[in-house]
Amino acid sequence: MLKLQGNLHKMHTEAGPPVAYSLELGGQRVRLSDFLGQRIKIDYLQQIECTHCGRVTRKSFSQGYCYPCFSSLAQCDRCIVSPETCHYHLGTCREPEWGLSNCMRPHIIYLSNTSGVKIGITRETQLPTRWIDQGAVQALAILRVTKRYHAGLIEHAFKQHVGDRTNWRNMLKNEVENIDLYQLYETLWPQVKSTLDTELIADAEEIASADSSLDLHFPALAYPTKVTSFNLDKEPRVEGRLDAIKGQYLILDNGVINIRKYGGYLVSLECGG
Does position 273 have pLDDT exceeding 80, yes or no?
Answer: no
pLDDT digit string, tens, across residues 132-151: 999 999 999 999 999 999 99
DSSP H helical ranges for the chain:
67-72, 78-81, 96-102, 129-133, 148-158, 168-173, 181-193, 198-203
**CB 38 within 8 Å of CB 242:** yes
Q: What is the pLDDT of residue 1?
A: 81
Q: Is the pTM of this model over 0.75?
A: yes
Specify the DSSP element, H or E, that contains 85. none
